[in-house]
Structure 1
Amino acid sequence: MRVLFSAVPAYGHILPLAPLMEAALADGDAVGLLTSEIVRPLAEQELPPGVELLAAGVAPEVFIVEAAKRGGGDPYHPTPEMIAETFGGTRLDLDKEDALDAARRWDPDFVVAEAFDTVGPFAAAHLNVPWHQAGLGPGIDAEIRRLFDRSVAPHYQRAGVEPEPPSSYVDPCPPTFQTPGWVSPAPIVNIRPRAHRRITSADLKPYRFSDKSRPTVLLTLGTVFSDGSTLAELAQAVAAADVNVVVTLGPGEQQPPEAPGVGEVRWVSFVPLDQLLGDVDLVVAAGGSGTVLGAMSRGIPMVLCPQGADQPVNAARAEAAGVAVVVGHPAEVTDAITQALKDADLRTRSAELAKEIADLPSPVQAFAVLAGR
């Protein structure tokens, strides 16, 4: 069987698909990834060996800037209309022809598209093959989904094909974390989320702290909002809580910024989250879905300071689930860490949610459903 995955060309959209890719490869299937050439280094380093990159389409900076020109507004703090235009109408305008040619040549049996990807479903409609949608975090709001449908409709009309709904929706959210009242666009296939990991562990220089009695806190801003100034401000706030701090630099960041404080700070290069969670008592993050679900899967409480995109939604759901303290500014982080480390209920709820996640079907089981096996 030939399984074509399709995604927006960005870490947070591609990495959550890796467990399903791994399951497909283990089952003996051919696996392709339809996305921009810009992610080739990511694919080669972070995805399972054997995934074939079908390079098609522009870099995210291109379609984000173009969508901002068309609709105005801040692409990193977008309105629902801008979200739909960015990932819907604009991206299809720029990517659909190259992507459709690549998909035709590869000839998949079915397509798996992450929740913000509109290229994969467009290709599936042309090729008359089924497709499945893979969620990244809490389900997309019904109004945003309606705006998505409206933004892509002219492309289907001009091409003379009908948009087809997904055959299933792969949901990585445990019920406690999913948005109450959310209605899935298709029958749900649950899947157990996990912190991203590589087949072969990344090189990680050992770090040691002089006072091992202090709690250890991991600070990570993921892959989009990890600029040096924001990271330095948050690292200083975390260190002020008198804890040992492990800070992960974003992709491409090499030089750690200055971050004075009471606690010791150890900077590490960008490595899979799975390798960083083993010995930490608390995660401080912006609230990207990969980080939040990864920490929840390991039962680690969080302090979240959302910076943009879908992070406020993820943070709100984590707070409602009782596994995170949410703040609105880095200045509030120090006190929030002190509060979180003393909060026994936060630790209890985190452990309970980890158990809820552990009881979900594995990626192998979820893929078997998609493949009809």
Structure 2
Amino acid sequence: MRAAVEAGHAVALATSAGVQDAVGPELASEVEFLAAGAMPMEFSEDAARRTGADPFHPGPELIGEIFGGSRVDLGGADTISLGREWAPDLIVTETFDAIGPMVAADLGIPWHQVGIGPATPAVITEIERAAASRYRNAGLNPVEPRSYIDPCPPQMQDPEWSSRVPVLPLRTQAHRRPHDMAFELPAFADPAKPTVLVTLGTIFSDPDVLDTTVGAMAGHEVNVIATVGSSLRNPAAGDDGSRPSRRPDGVEVHYVPFVPLGQLLDRADLVVGAGGSGTVLGALAHGFPMVLWPQGADQPINAARAAAAGAAITVDSGDEIFLALRRVLGEDTFRDRAQAVAAENDARPSPADVVKEITQ
């Protein structure tokens, strides 16, 4: 969106009204916010009620019902109406979104799909299956996107995957705001030690999992920055509501609330996390090796691909983190592979290049 604005295009974002406060700081002032549809928890719970499945550990079928079914039911008509009013010439939508393609079909305009991590064809098939009946009910005929915009360096992409449409590579980057606010972090007593960023992302920030992960730092000569995600209070302020957060003996830990990932990575040397696509791709863009303990959603896929690229070790439990971290700290191979991915990523087209391509 920033690249499109800088190129002189009119840009709007259509999404749930409830996220406007959260995304407001991310948007250029020229981007118009079009509020439509339900919040993620609402449409996820709706799909879970209909299927009886667990929304926090969904398989492909439930993901299809969440994004191709409930989300469309609770926001498709409103977004189509906004689309008719705003009258775009082009739509860009991420892979899990089934509403953007409906708006494109309604208006008879081209659309492009952008990935958020390694391709997940089984999931996309389920989303399309669930959305098909919604297309029929709306009297719409879906059309293929003009391209698939892929932010995933080739070392991270499934070698068996092939796209039905042309692929436009995109340089991935860690999340930053247009004008990052100052991020105050006390200096570590021994800044010569490697700094580990421990982050479970914004959704799977279970306090027990976070405590276990931070606890695994004990016995290592490291400093730690740990994020508390959006589902926890800030333990640094002593308000987690239950108990003090883990601070292993001999390890200095700084807990932080939500901060754009790029700013955190500027202070780190390696990452221990759950394997969300933003974390994995952002860390690789910096050339950082990882230890990944997947918790749900697409995290097992991202972690497996990072491990296959040789840039990460994937673990199945908190008990395995200690030895995995020892290997990542002690063996140069993981950092070398991560830096090779970063070099490949640096050579890929920029967002400005992709905007120019799709608008031509």
Asked if structure 2 preserves the Cα contact closer than 8 Å seen for 1:239 and 1:245, the reply is: no
Name whichever of 226-235 and 287-296 sits farther off: 226-235
Asked if structure 2 preserves the Cα contact closer than 8 Å seen for 1:166 and 1:185, the reply is: no
- State how 1:25-40 maps to structure 2 within 5 Å: 25-40=5-20
- Structure 2's unaligned 5+ residue stretches are 236-243
1:347 aligns to 2:335 (yes or no): yes
**What's 1:195 paired with?**
174
Give distance in 2, aligned partners of 1:294 and 1:186: 26
Q: Over residues 64-105 of structure 1, what are the superposed CA-to-partner deviations in whole Å (9 max), with x where a residue is unaligned?
A: 111011112211211211111110012111111111111111
- 2:291 is paired with a residue whose SS is strand
Asked if structure 1 preserves the Cα contact closer than 8 Å seen for 2:95 and 2:124, the reply is: no
**What's 2:87 paired with?**
107
Q: Over residues 269-314 of structure 1, what are the superposed CA-to-partner deviations in whole Å (9 max), with x where a residue is unaligned?
A: 2111111112322111110111100000110111111000000000
Asked if structure 2 preserves the Cα contact closer than 8 Å seen for 1:139 and 1:184, the reply is: no
1:268 aligns to 2:256 (yes or no): yes
Asked if structure 2 preserves the Cα contact closer than 8 Å seen for 1:48 and 1:198, the reply is: no
Give distance in 1, aligned partners of 2:203 and 2:60: 19
- 1:54 is paired with a residue whose SS is strand
Q: Over residues 169-194 of structure 1, what are the superposed CA-to-partner deviations in whole Å (9 max), with x where a residue is unaligned?
A: 00001111101111213111110000
Tell me how many residue pairs correspond in the alignment. 351
Asked if structure 2 preserves the Cα contact closer than 8 Å seen for 1:36 and 1:57, the reply is: yes
Asked if structure 2 preserves the Cα contact closer than 8 Å seen for 1:195 and 1:297, the reply is: yes
User: Which residue identity does 2:328 align to in structure 1?
Assistant: A
User: Which residue identity does 2:56 align to in structure 1?
Assistant: Y
Give distance in 2, aligned partners of 1:235 and 1:51: 39
Pairwise CA distance, 1:252: 5.9
**What's 2:239 paired with?**
none
- 2:338 is paired with a residue whose SS is helix
User: Which residue identity does 1:258 align to in structure 2?
Assistant: S
Asked if structure 1 preserves the Cα contact closer than 8 Å seen for 2:293 and 2:316, the reply is: yes
- State how 1:1-373 maps to structure 2 within 5 Å: 21-141=1-121, 143-251=122-230, 253-256=232-235, 257-261=244-248, 262-372=250-360
User: Which residue identity does 2:93 align to in structure 1?
Assistant: A
TM-score w.r.t. structure 2 length?
A: 0.94
User: Which residue identity does 2:106 align to in structure 1?
Assistant: H
Pairwise CA distance, 1:238: 2.4
CA RMSD of aligned residues (A): 1.3
**What's 1:7 paired with?**
none
- 1:176 is paired with a residue whose SS is helix
Name whichever of 43-52 and 343-352 sits farther off: 43-52
Asked if structure 2 preserves the Cα contact closer than 8 Å seen for 1:241 and 1:335, the reply is: no
Name whichever of 162-171 and 273-282 sits farther off: 273-282
Give distance in 2, aligned partners of 1:280 and 1:204: 14
**Cα pair distance change 1:255/1:322, threshold 3 Å:** same
Pairwise CA distance, 1:249: 2.1
- 1:193 is paired with a residue whose SS is coil
Asked if structure 1 preserves the Cα contact closer than 8 Å seen for 2:2 and 2:28, the reply is: yes
- After the TM superposition, which segments of 4 or more aligned residues of structure 1 sit over 3 Å from their partners? none
Q: Over residues 190-220 of structure 1, what are the superposed CA-to-partner deviations in whole Å (9 max), with x where a residue is unaligned?
A: 1000000011112311321112232110111
The percentage of aligned residue pairs carrying the same residue is 46
- Structure 1's unaligned 5+ residue stretches are 1-20
User: Which residue identity does 1:290 align to in structure 2?
Assistant: G
- 1:30 is paired with a residue whose SS is coil
Asked if structure 2 preserves the Cα contact closer than 8 Å seen for 1:202 and 1:272, the reply is: no
Asked if structure 2 preserves the Cα contact closer than 8 Å seen for 1:202 and 1:271, the reply is: no
Asked if structure 2 preserves the Cα contact closer than 8 Å seen for 1:133 and 1:169, the reply is: yes
Name whichever of 329-338 and 24-33 sits farther off: 329-338
- 1:132 is paired with a residue whose SS is strand
Q: Over residues 92-132 of structure 1, what are the superposed CA-to-partner deviations in whole Å (9 max), with x where a residue is unaligned?
A: 11111111111111110011010000111011100111110
